[in-house]
Amino acid sequence: MASYKYLWVNRARFNSFSFISYKVWAKRIHSLPELVKRNYRRHKLTLKGASINETSEIGLVKLDGDLKKLSIGEFTFLGRVYMALHEEITIGSRVCINDGVQLLTASHDIQDPSWIHIKGKVIVKDYAWIATNAIILPNVTIGYGAVVGAGAIVAKSVPDFGIVVGNPAKLLNKSRVSELNYNPCEFLASNRAWLVG
């Protein structure tokens, strides 16, 4: 949501010269450097071949491999995330991926005497939430609205609305609410200054 155009068009409006108007514009000016940084990060990654929607928020990500293999949908938030792009990583819309998460697309086959390198895509569907320090291994799909608990190591795909925790990650008996309608990018202070005031 860091797109300047989006924030300007959807900005909260207040009566000119009112106290609240001055207060809101002070917040907007104060948060401008952070907004510029996130826009710059996203722009730099797209110039190198990544496909990232202009409304998504990109934190201090570390990417190894071919950036052309990265696709991120709209209104998605990435914190301090590591991605190994040996194979495609596709992240949907309105996804939240917290700090310390690792998305890995390659490993080694321990059953092979040559210890061959094996690769597999990682897919994260819309409204998924991957919590702090989780690790997603190759050939894994995180389902629509699914939740991966903090520190979980996910070696198998997670169904839509499923919740997994632990090492190895195990599916809980409960699932997430099925009616989801939120934008994780709206929680950032620099965006709230524009959208809420």
Give a yes or no: residue 182 inside a domain: no
Give a yes or no: residue 185 inside a domain: no
pLDDT tens track for 128-150: 999 999 999 999 999 999 999 99
What pLDDT was estimated at residue 1? 57
Which DSSP symbol is given to 80? S
Give a yes or no: residue 195 inside a domain: no
What pLDDT was estimated at residue 35? 86
- Count how many domains the chain has: 1
Cα–Cα dist 126/140, whole Å: 15
What pLDDT was estimated at residue 4? 82
Give a yes or no: residue 193 inside a domain: no
Give a yes or no: residue 36 inside a domain: yes
Give a yes or no: residue 186 inside a domain: no
What pLDDT was estimated at residue 49? 96
Q: What is the pTM of this model?
A: 0.90
Low pLDDT (below 50) residues in the chain = none
What pLDDT was estimated at residue 186? 85
Give a yes or no: residue 196 inside a domain: no
Q: Residue 81: which CATH number?
A: 2.160.10.10
The residue whose two tokens read 């690790």 is 135
- Its domain, for residue 28, covers 4-177
* C-alpha distance from residue 114 to each of 84, 107, 117 (Å): 22, 13, 9
Give a yes or no: residue 123 inside a domain: yes
